[in-house]
A and B are shown apart, each in its own frame.
Chain A
Amino acid sequence: NAGVTQTPKFRVLKTGQSMTLLCAQDMNHEYMYWYRQDPGMGLRLIHYSVGEGTTAKGEVPDGYNVSRLKKQNFLLGLESAAPSQTSVYFCASSEWRGRPSTDTQYFGPGTRLTVL
């Protein structure tokens, strides 16, 4: 199993450009998440999904959109990139059944995005 994969690993954008980050998981997990990680801020939840076709806003959703058309994929879009969106983006997935043995988020390796 590849676990959680993210594409691309690195990207540089100019202000105003758009792009889509792709997250894929092969663990048949229901829940998927997008976070951004900034120095001294920890991880902040952007959007999440509790199943195919569903999405919900997290702590910092402004400037981002997401889609979950397939259970295994979760896309994060930036319609008009801004320098404030320079960050490392992590995708995660989990199978949540309320049991400690399965209450685990599995993270991808991250995408480092720089907006000039």
Chain B
Amino acid sequence: QQQVKQSPQSLIVQKGGISIINCAYENTAFDYFPWYQQFPGKGPALLIAIRPDVSEKKEGRFTISFNKSAKQFSLHIMDSQPGDSATYFCAASRNYGQNFVFGPGTRLSVLP
């Protein structure tokens, strides 16, 4: 049973375009929502994270938008670059990180 749903499964974007990945959750007890980036053969690495008391967080070209009432959050990658090609996972946790749940992942390909 997937507690965090993620879409699309794969995404192809032209260089310079905007990549958008969406996630939805059911458990209203979740209080921390990170996004991870994973390159082939490597472990995931934290990209950006948000808490439900804010609706948006921006770090460089990466922005999280959070809609608490809809129980949805999304990752926007502005000016997408070929180096952004990776698999992206959204996640959620509660009780201060004692139990993380991950989405199934989105494979992003940015064409040069």
> B43, A104: Cβ atoms under 8 Å?
no
> B89, A42: Cβ atoms under 8 Å?
yes
Complex interface residues of chain A between 34 and 48 (CB less than 8 A to chain B): 35, 40-45, 48
Question: What chain A residues lie within 8 Å of B9 (beta carbons)?
Answer: 40
Question: What chain B residues lie within 8 Å of A4 (beta carbons)?
Answer: 43
B45 at the interface (CB under 8 A from A): yes
Complex interface residues of chain A between 77 and 116 (CB less than 8 A to chain B): 90, 92, 94, 96, 98, 100, 103-110
Shortest Cβ gap from B21 to chain A (Å): 13
Given contacts A48-B99, A58-B99, contact A109 B104 (CB under 8 A): no
> A44, B102: Cβ atoms under 8 Å?
yes
**Of A33, A98, A100, A108, which is within 8 A of B100 by CB?**
A33
A74, B96: Cα distance in complex, Å: 20
- The bracket for how many chain A residues form the interface is 20 to 34
Question: What chain A residues lie within 8 Å of B96 (beta carbons)?
Answer: 96, 98
Closest B residue to A96 using CB positions: B97
Pairs A–B under 8 Å by Cβ, sample size 16: A35-B102, A40-B9, A42-B104, A48-B98, A56-B98, A94-B97, A100-B49, A100-B51, A103-B34, A103-B49, A104-B34, A105-B34, A105-B44, A105-B100, A109-B41, A109-B43
Known contacts A42-B102, A100-B49, then 9 further A-B pairs from the complex at CB < 8 Å, ordered by chain A residue: A40-B104, A43-B102, A48-B98, A59-B101, A100-B51, A104-B49, A105-B97, A106-B46, A108-B43
